[in-house]
Amino acid sequence: MESHELKRKTFHSTVWNAVRIATSNLLSFVVFSVLTRILSPREFGIFALASVVIEFARILTSAGLADAVMRTKELDETFADTAFWANLLLGCGVGIVTWVGAPLYASMTLQPEVTPILRWLALLIPISSLSGIHIARKLREFGYKPLAIRMVIGSLLGGFAAVAAAFSGFGVWSLVIQAAITDTVGCILVWQTYPWRPRLRFRGGLFANVFSFSASVMLTQVMFTILIRIQDMVIARFVSASAVGVYRVAWRLNGLIVQTTNQPLADISLVTFAQLQDDRTRFRGAYLRMLGLGAFFTFPALFGLGALSDEIIPLLFGPKWASASDIVKILTFMAVPIVLNNFGGQALAALGRSGTIAKVATVQATLTLVFSLLAAPYGLWWIAVAYVFRAYLTLPYFLAQLQRETGVSGLSMLRAVTAPFIASVLMVGMLFIISVSLRSQLGSGLAYVVASTVLGAAFYAAALWLIGGDYIRMNVIALRPLWSEFASKSAASDRLE
């Protein structure tokens, strides 16, 4: 009974988290597409460079406390209060340091326009720190539905404001306005969603006991941010701010696919794995199933994006961003490491193996910096290649660490994603074969992209069924009872409303 209840909560949370991520991503991407047609690559590059520091600042502000709150089986209210006030104090301190250090960072990247943007964004750091523990407490109760609705509202309001500002000639400041409204409205709505009022108490000893875990989580998050964003700084210094903008647009498109297809399951998996950490047999089964489902959705979407990027980039962003197409193609090869790293990281976090995560992330981040610097003299294309090369170079090391901590063999992990991988490769081959014929009939515009997407999806499903029938029965059809229950409960809720 307990197992069924956990599966039910996991499935329902996955659905609502997927709705939140898909809706939020769709709205933000529509806004992003509009903004790319108004703003220049340089303006996007300047904002991207400032946002690198803000990402680091928010990690330091959180200090891994939200993860500790989510992971704790029985949450102590004193610790919750302590975590909240620690987040707020850190937010204020980190915000001040960021504001003061903005000129130094700008000089490091050789982009002085970053200073005022970064200073205004620094003022938002304390605001975002006000909602971290509230979100963690709601998520540990599988409360994804109300958070989904309210976070989408915040993104929608911020997006509308950014578009209005861009049309009014605010330039890069349109992106600052978007961040300010999204963070402020989001914080207010989260407090309404989870009306917990922290008491004015702080236990230094309790904070110190938890900080051993939190510090490792924080270090891991810093390393992963370096892993993803250090290339922006390298590109700015050795290529140009405009090149940063182009690289970020390519990352944004790939990231949209990953967040929509992979992130909903990855987010839910941390809570699910934590619930199963004392039952290693069920833990391993849940891990491999989620890994397989993540590959089922992510591989064909990323591979298809790479195959159609020459047509998709101009359609979405305009011809001035056409150079991002080659970067998108290169980043498509990250599909396998992305899925394995996302779920593996959540599994290790659920087991409290933050030290292992930090060790792996440090190796990955260090090699990313080294290879990016080596590739920088040869241009943007080679910097992207260096990132992909690093991902596959460190993947065996990560799988070995994961096997040691979880007992799940690297071979079984690869086996769990093999069928979707082969089907996706076959799909890309089919699209390549029919592309000439389709272009002669439909041209290279929207009709070609839509037709290729429909045909690719159909071929992928057929190929997967032929080579991985057992995979589909185990990972998809098994969810049908939970989906039926979810649909009936949602319909009953709608009638009551």
In the prediction, which pLDDT does 260 show? 79
Buried b vs exposed e over 22-31: b needs ≥16 C-beta within 10 Å? bbbbebbbeb
Distance CA 386, CA 373 (A): 9
| In the block, residue with structure tokens 């981040």 | 365
User: Residue 11 pLDDT > 60, yes or no?
Assistant: no
> With pLDDT > 90 as the criterion, what percentage of the chain qualifies?
41
How confident is residue 485, by pLDDT bands cut at 50, 70 and 90? very low
Tokens for 111?
A: 């982009």
- Per-residue pLDDT of 208-225, as tens digits, reads 666 666 676 677 778 878
Give residue 139's pLDDT band: very low, low, confident or very high (50, 70, 90).
Answer: low
Q: Which residues contact 294 (CB under 8 A, 6 or more apart)?
A: 261, 262, 265, 266, 339, 342, 343
Q: Which H or E run includes 386?
A: helix 380-406
pTM: 0.79
CA dist., res. 259 & res. 305, Å (int): 14
